């Protein structure tokens, strides 16, 4: 294991001072009017010996870690793991690294994790705020740590966020079902005050009201065991004689499919929120309201980096359109 070469080794070898080397390495050569020749000599030597600055020392000195903290609800959910993948790539392109974790809807774990990330001096946070995190988010905001909320936001905290236009997506999906001559359309959602859930409910309601149809809403608890959720879903669909169902999340739709298959009724028409590998392949393939992950993550990273670089005067609050992807599950054959 060869010894790490230090900036002082370079200075010594080239008979110049560390400052000069440091300036050159940090692209301050012309600003400090260091000669082209010397600059080149240093750069060449650096490349030759393969010098890499010690990031820790650099961070300690500058206060910048070039690390971003990503906290998602559940990294194993295909929506979030896809998002994570895009975020990681974009962050990497901008010279940042991602340290992540799943909060698993555990409020105290989430708080602890955020504190841990603050202690690690991440340069910024990307968070899908789960219930009960208002204060913590507010605390980050007050600490002036750059922050972008994602997928949902916290109305009480005026900060950056990038979310999908859930309400309109939900409205379109519901309208699509209504226009397919379905009368009895149910919504299966969660007991949750999160903005994305509320917006999806609003969109559904708006469409139902517009068509003067009675709404049927079933909410489940996040923690409901699968078996029980199954029974509740079946009961909801069968007892209300629903023609169609809108699922507020991809995993609710997955649960719904499992449930409805187990009882031998005909599958109602259905639409799910968020893509899932399953949906394209399922028979019938499942119509979805798809979030634009490319655009969401692009704006997300862009906003966060702008904030880190102090280029943001005001919080940036973006709402990205969703796309309704019509497949077999929502149309009459």
Pick from its own copies, DNA, none: which does 147 bind, CB < 5 to 8 A by kind?
A: none
233 near its own copies (CB under 8 A):
no
Closest to DNA by CB, 59 vs 234, is 59
State the Cα–Cα distance between residues 154 and 15, nearest whole angstrom: 56
Pick from DNA, its own copies, none: which does 15 bind, CB < 5 to 8 A by kind?
A: DNA
At residue 57's C-alpha, the angle toward residues 53 and 60, to 5°, is 140
Stretch of 14-22, 83-91, 126-134, 207-215 contacting DNA, by CB under 7 A: 14-22
Closest to its own copies by CB, 101 vs 178, is 101
Closest to DNA by CB, 59 vs 319, is 59
In the region spanning residues 51 to 90, those forming contacts with DNA, defined by CB under 7 A, are: 53-54, 57-58, 60-62
List, in order, residues 6 or more apart from 312 with CB less than 8 Å away: 160, 303, 306
Whether the CB-CB separation of 166 and 153 falls below 8 Å is answered with no
Nearest distance from C-beta of residue 148 to DNA, angstroms: 25
Stretch of 26-34, 241-249, 279-287, 307-315 contacting its own copies, by CB under 8 A: 279-287
Pick from its own copies, DNA, none: which does 34 bind, CB < 5 to 8 A by kind?
A: DNA
Nearest distance from C-beta of residue 199 to its own copies, angstroms: 25
- Per DSSP, helices labelled H in 240-292 are 250-262, 277-281
Nearest distance from C-beta of residue 14 to DNA, angstroms: 9
In the region spanning residues 117 to 136, those forming contacts with its own copies, defined by CB under 8 A, are: 118-121
Pick from its own copies, DNA, none: which does 26 bind, CB < 5 to 8 A by kind?
A: DNA
In the region spanning residues 94 to 113, those forming contacts with its own copies, defined by CB under 8 A, are: 97-102, 113
Pick from DNA, its own copies, none: which does 102 bind, CB < 5 to 8 A by kind?
A: its own copies
One-letter-per-residue 3-state SS of the chain = CCCCCCHHHHHHHHCCCHHHHHHHHCCCCCCCCCCHHHHHHHHHHHHHHCCCCCHHHHHHHHCCCCEEEEEECCCCCHHHHHHHHHHHHHHHHCCCEEEEEECCCCHHHHHHHHHHHHHCCCCEEEECCCCCCHHHHHHHHHCCCCEEEECCCCCCCCCEEEEECHHHHHHHHHHHHHHCCCCCEEEEEECCCCHHHHHHHHHHHHHHHHCCCCCEEEEECCCCCHHHHHHHHHHHHHHCCCCEEEECCHHHHHHHHHHHHHCCCCCCEEEEECCCHHHHHCCCCCEEEECCHHHHHHHHHHHHHHHHCCCCCCCCEEEECCEEECCHHHCCC
Nearest distance from C-beta of residue 60 to DNA, angstroms: 4
Q: Which of 24, 25, 46, 84 binds its own copies (CB under 8 A)?
A: 84
16 near DNA (CB under 7 A):
yes
Contacts with DNA by CB under 7 A lie at: 4, 6-8, 15-20, 22-23, 25-26, 28, 32-35, 38, 53-54, 57-58, 60-62
Contacts with its own copies by CB under 8 A lie at: 1, 52-57, 59-60, 65, 67, 74-76, 78, 81-82, 84-85, 88-89, 92, 97-102, 113, 115-116, 118-121, 142-144, 254, 257-258, 261, 276-278, 280-283
């Amino acid at each position: 294991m060869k010894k790490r070469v230090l900036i002082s080794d370079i200075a010594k070898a080239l008979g110049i001072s560390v400052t000069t080397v440091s300036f050159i390495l940090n692209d301050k050569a012309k600003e400090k009017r260091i000669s082209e020749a010397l600059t080149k000599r240093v750069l060449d030597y650096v490349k030759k010996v393969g010098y890499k600055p010690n990031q820790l020392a650099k961070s300690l000195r500058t206060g910048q870690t070039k690390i971003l903290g990503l906290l998602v609800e559940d990294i194993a959910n295909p929506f979030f793991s896809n998002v994570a993948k895009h975020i990681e790539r974009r962050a990497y392109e901008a010279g940042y690294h991602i340290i992540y974790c799943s909060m698993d809807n555990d409020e105290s774990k989430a708080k602890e994790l955020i504190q841990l990330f603050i202690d690690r001096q991440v340069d910024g946070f990307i968070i899908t705020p789960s219930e009960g995190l208002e204060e913590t988010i507010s605390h980050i905001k007050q600490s002036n740590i750059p922050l972008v909320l994602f997928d949902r936001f916290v109305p009480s905290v005026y900060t950056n966020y990038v979310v999908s236009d859930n309400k309109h997506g939900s409205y379109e999906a519901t309208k699509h079902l209504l226009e397919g001559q379905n009368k009895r359309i149910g919504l299966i959602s969660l007991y949750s005050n999160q903005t994305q859930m509320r917006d999806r409910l609003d969109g559904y309601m708006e469409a139902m009201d517009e068509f003067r149809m009675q709404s049927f809403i079933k909410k489940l608890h996040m923690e409901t065991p699968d078996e029980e959720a199954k029974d509740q879903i079946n009961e909801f669909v069968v007892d209300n004689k629903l023609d169609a169902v809108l699922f507020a999340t991809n995993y609710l739709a997955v649960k719904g499919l499992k449930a409805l298959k187990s009882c031998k009724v005909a599958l109602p028409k259905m639409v799910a929120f968020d893509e899932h590998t399953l949906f394209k392949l399922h028979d019938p393939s499942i119509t979805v309201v798809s979030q634009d992950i490319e655009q969401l993550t692009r704006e997300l990273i862009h906003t966060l980096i702008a904030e880190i670089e102090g280029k943001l005067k005001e919080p940036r609050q973006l709402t990205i359109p969703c796309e309704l992807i019509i497949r077999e599950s929502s149309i009459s054959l």
